[in-house]
Amino acid sequence: MNSSSQAITALQKAFPDNQTFLRGSPEFDELNGSYLSAIEGDIIPAAIFRPKDKHEVSKFLHITQPYTSNGDVKFAVRGGGQQPTHACANIQDGITLDLGMLTGIEIRDSSVSIAAGERWGAVYERLLPLGLATSGSRSGKGGIGGLSLAGGLSFFSTREGFIADNVINYEIVLASGDIVNANKHENTDLLIALRGGGNNFGVVTRYDVRTFKQGPLWGGSVYYFTPSFPSQLEALVTELKKPNATAETHLMLSIGYAAQFGQTMCQNQLYYTQETETNPPVLEPFTNIQPQIDALYSMRKLNVVDAATEQTGDAMERQRTSYMNTVIRADVDALQAAADIYTAALEPIKTVEGLVCSLTLQPYPVSLLKKTAEAGGNSLGLDPANGPLVSILLLTYWKNRSDDEQVFQVMNSTLQKIKNDSRVRNQTVKYEFMSYAASFQDPIDSYGAENKIKLQDVSKKYDPKGLFQKAVRGGFKLFT
Ligand SMILES: Cc1cc2nc3c(=O)[nH]c(=O)nc-3n(C[C@H](O)[C@H](O)[C@H](O)COP(=O)(O)OP(=O)(O)OC[C@H]3O[C@@H](n4cnc5c(N)ncnc54)[C@H](O)[C@@H]3O)c2cc1C
């Protein structure tokens, strides 16, 4: 019997309640097929283990320790399974620790405690009737873990900061099996490390996230044609650089291609986070574009649950998916060059079956960057003095495995060209957002040498034997 089979047998004995799903069983197939990206589901672990609470996570680490401590048996930690980075939350021939049964949402005075298996949509639904909201994924289906351990933008990030900066306490099971909290009073070095450090320190079982009063928003989408994109870039940069820019907007601009349109098209996803009965003037430069596709105009008054449901609907499930990203300064010429490089690169892959792709721009306004210091700090290494910044995401969906190589090759080289161009223009910042990073990227390195060393020191302190480096290979590691 190999080590992996021995570890699985030990789990089956310790948890007789049928929580260990073996390769080939219908439950296994359903769980392994439920990642956002079909590429993640191509990875076939030997077993999927589903703990019901934090004590079972701790017991899992104890039971598997004889097999995992030397890196012989590998395991993956899965939250919502929504991150397309190859093998970040699944492991070939190892054991996938699926946190989907850790459920529970508890509303406290000024925060909400969220178990690791919940989805953001469920959190928004609980908070809505109380006139409250929190900083989480714009997609209701997004898992709590990925973003809360990476940074992340919410509808409210211009006003409230990164999602990770809003986590005031992480409950985490360490490699030793000990269950500890990381907050501003205890294990504060671990709190800062977890805000950006990914799955390197343990299995987080609960996130306590700040809540705030929130009424209805104004938002939705506007679809238009490529000749208007340059003026939209100018409007975006003008808004971001206004000294008195409001913190109540959340703006996303995309240029992309979908077979359904048969041509390159543009989309603005726009939000104003205060209640209003009509389109606010600050959004007019982004909504009044002519010509546009009137039938797809969806700007309206809506609540957070509606907004998150609409974002979920925009995602394509069980397609082959690739995300990769870079972040640059908010500079019109550099952004325009990125869009030009991108649209030119699409030509050879437009015939790929099921291709839906976009270059999506998501700003990091100065107000967002400044919130990090107020929140006590994170590991991302972003200096507000460099802001405003714009995250450039290359997002691609397609249908068939046989097209993987071509799509990856085109997208990888496009990202490199965009990075080179912005470097020449002196608009580069050394930061990659972990949740949008492809496996060949190195977001931890992008946080800067000082932050990387701090993260390594925290790992040595809380995981001295390096279990989450040796046995959890997916995601982005600290010592590579
Ligand atoms: C439709 C859609 C909308 C999105 N919207 C946004 C958005 O609004 N803002 C934004 O910033 N990003 C957004 N993203 C990115 C997405 O939220 C991230 O990819 C996020 O990482 C997904 O979280 P997850 O828990 O589902 O990830 P998973 O794929 O389960 O895990 C991602 C990584 O986190 C680790 N991890 C997860 N949970 C834990 C845990 N409890 N303990 C330790 N490690 C853990 C995993 O090991 C893995 O390495 C969106 C993506 C999609 C597809």
Residue minimizing CA distance to atom 19 of ligand 1: 83
d(CA 179, CA 164): 20
Helix crossing, 449-462 with 188-197: angle to 10°? 120
Pocket test for ligand 1, best of 43, 83, 144, 200 (most atoms within 8 A of CB): 83
d(CA 216, CA 235): 25
Domain co-membership, 255 together with 183:
no
* Cα 145 to ligand 1 centre (Å): 6
Map tokens 């003095």 to a residue.
385
Q: Return all residues near 412 (Cβ < 8 A) that are at least 6 apart.
A: 324, 438, 440
Q: What is the CATH number of the domain that holds 291?
A: 3.40.462.20
Domain co-membership, 84 together with 202:
no
Q: Domain range holding 36?
A: 3-101
By CB atoms closer than 10 A (0-12, 13-18, 19+), residue 267 is buried
* Cα 443 to ligand 1 centre (Å): 14
Predicted local distance difference test score (pLDDT) of residue 78: 98
In a domain, 474, yes or no: no
Domain co-membership, 342 together with 433:
yes
In a domain, 411, yes or no: yes
Domain co-membership, 270 together with 339:
yes
* Cα 141 to ligand 1 centre (Å): 10
Q: What is the CATH number of the domain that holds 125?
A: 3.30.465.10
Q: Looking at the 3D structure of the chain, how many domains does it have?
A: 3
Domain co-membership, 386 together with 456:
no
Predicted local distance difference test score (pLDDT) of residue 316: 79
Of 101, 126, 144, the residue at which a domain comes to its end is 101
Local confidence pLDDT in tens for the 480 residues of the chain: 789 999 999 999 999 888 999 999 999 999 999 999 999 999 999 999 999 999 999 999 999 999 999 889 999 999 999 999 999 999 999 999 999 999 999 999 999 999 999 999 999 999 999 999 999 999 999 999 999 999 999 999 999 999 999 999 999 999 999 999 999 999 999 999 999 999 999 999 999 999 999 999 999 999 999 999 999 999 999 999 999 999 999 999 999 999 877 899 999 999 999 999 999 999 999 999 999 999 999 999 999 999 999 988 766 788 999 999 999 999 999 999 999 999 999 999 999 999 999 999 999 999 999 999 999 999 999 999 999 999 999 999 999 999 999 999 999 999 999 999 999 999 999 999 999 999 999 999 999 999 999 999 999 999 999 999 999 999 999 997
Domain co-membership, 113 together with 41:
no
Domain co-membership, 366 together with 399:
yes
d(CA 207, CA 145): 8
Domain co-membership, 95 together with 133:
no
Write phi, then psi, for 246 (nearest 5 degrees).
-70, 150
Q: Report DSSP state, residue 296.
A: G
Q: Return all residues near 9 (Cβ < 8 A) that are at least 6 apart.
A: 1
From residue 205, alpha-carbon distances to 97, 99, 131, 202, 289 in Å are 12, 8, 26, 9, 45
d(CA 414, CA 418): 6
Residue 71 identity: G
In a domain, 391, yes or no: yes
d(CA 248, CA 158): 7
d(CA 220, CA 1): 55
d(CA 122, CA 145): 14
Q: Which atom of ligand 1 is nearest to the CA of 99?
A: 41
Q: Which atom of ligand 1 is nearest to the CA of 78?
A: 30
Residue minimizing CA distance to atom 1 of ligand 1: 315
Domain co-membership, 353 together with 333:
yes
In a domain, 480, yes or no: no
Show the ligand 1 pocket: residues with CB < 6 angstroms.
36, 77-83, 88-89, 99, 116, 137-139, 142-143, 145-147, 149-150, 152-153, 198-199, 203-204, 311, 315, 435, 474-475
Predicted local distance difference test score (pLDDT) of residue 314: 67
Predicted local distance difference test score (pLDDT) of residue 312: 82
Domain co-membership, 331 together with 319:
yes
Of 47, 80, 101, the residue at which a domain comes to its end is 101
Q: Report DSSP state, residue 461.
A: H
In a domain, 97, yes or no: yes
Domain co-membership, 288 together with 359:
yes
Pocket test for ligand 1, best of 124, 167, 199, 467 (most atoms within 8 A of CB): 199
* Cα 226 to ligand 1 centre (Å): 31
Predicted local distance difference test score (pLDDT) of residue 363: 98
Residue minimizing CA distance to atom 53 of ligand 1: 82
In a domain, 57, yes or no: yes
Q: What is the CATH number of the domain that holds 19?
A: 3.30.43.10
**Structure token digits, residue 428:** 């580069």
* Cα 125 to ligand 1 centre (Å): 19
Domain co-membership, 62 together with 110:
no
**Structure token digits, residue 424:** 């020449």
Q: Report DSSP state, residue 3.
A: H
Continuous H helices in 167-272: 188-197, 229-241
pLDDT digits (tens, 9 = 90+) for 138-176: 999 999 999 999 999 999 999 999 999 999 999 999 999
Overall size of the chain counted in residues: 480
Maximum CA extent, the chain: 68
Burial 370-392 (b: 16+ CB within 10 A, else e): ebbeebeebbbbbebebbbbbbb
Predicted local distance difference test score (pLDDT) of residue 318: 86
Of 77, 101, 125, the residue at which a domain comes to its end is 101
Q: Return all residues near 434 (Cβ < 8 A) that are at least 6 apart.
A: 149, 150, 151, 196, 198, 443, 444, 475, 476
